[in-house]
Homo-oligomer: A and B are copies of this chain.
Amino acid sequence: MSQLLRVQSFTVSSDGFGAGEGQSLETPFGHADPGSLLAWAFATDHPPIARSEPGSRGLDDYFTRDYARNIGAEIMGRNKFGPQRGPWQDHEWQGWWGDEPPFHTPVFVMTHHSRPSFTLADSTFHFVDSDPAAALSRAKKAAQGKDVRLGGGATVIRRFLDADLIDTLHVAVAPIELRSGARLWESPDELSDRYHQDVVPSPSGVTHHVFWRK
């Protein structure tokens, strides 16, 4: 089977924003509260950042437990790595993800500003200044036959949608309004010309949207 580019468990507000305005070191999601936006995922048995206590094993857990299945690399936007803008000033600061990042694969950070690669535990961060197709080509090579996850944020997902490079998307829509920020879509129906779509309301309050190519 060919290698896919997959958006996995990306969460947006009911009005389509993946993060709020005013991102800073202290507020990675700007004015959005990640604890509310991502509550559905953190309640499951396979949350995006592992913990030892058991969680729910219902519908939502099928989505979170699929997050890393057959994934060999991730591509992310610069703002998912950190709040800096312009040239990198401080190479000591190694991103928001701590000493043991939850990626466990090579990670390609899209940025116009070069920076040396570095490794934290089993995640290696590379900084790439290229168009989406070239970045995907590099990530697929690094993934060694497995799929590539497109980690977000909203802006980088839109760039890859515009380039028609995404094979499948799972987007969870949380029952929260943000009114401004980084927008993924006005409506999920924007993708209906190119993708099949399943819409699945969850008992947790989010609605899962699953897209795969027509």
Quick check: is A49 within 8 A (CB to CB) of the other chain?
no
Determine the residue in chain B with the shortest Cβ distance to A168.
B57
Task: Tell me whether B69 and A196 are in contact (CB under 8 A).
Answer: no
Known contacts: A65-B66, A66-B65, A69-B69. The answer to whether A58 contacts B203 by CB under 8 A is: no
**A56-84 at interface with B (beta carbon < 8 Å):** 56-59, 62-63, 65-66, 69
- In whole angstroms, how far apart are the Cα atoms of A168 and B199 in the complex? 24
Residues of chain B within 8 A of A63, CB atoms compared = 62
The contact size tier of chain A is 20 to 34
Closest to A208 in B: B59
| This chain: copies in complex | 2
Q: How far is the CA of A66 from the CA of B65 in the complex (A)?
A: 9
Contacts of A210 in B (CB 8 A): 57-59, 62
Assembly CA distance A65 to B65 (angstroms): 11
- For residue A200, CB closer than 8 A to chain B, the reply is yes
A201-214 interface bits toward B, Cβ cutoff 8 Å, 1 = contact, 0 = none: 01100001010100
Say yes or no: is A177 at the interface (Cβ < 8 Å to chain B). no
Contact A212 B58 (CB under 8 A): yes
Instruction: State which of B59, B62, B208, B212 has its C-beta within 8 Å of the C-beta of A57.
Output: B212
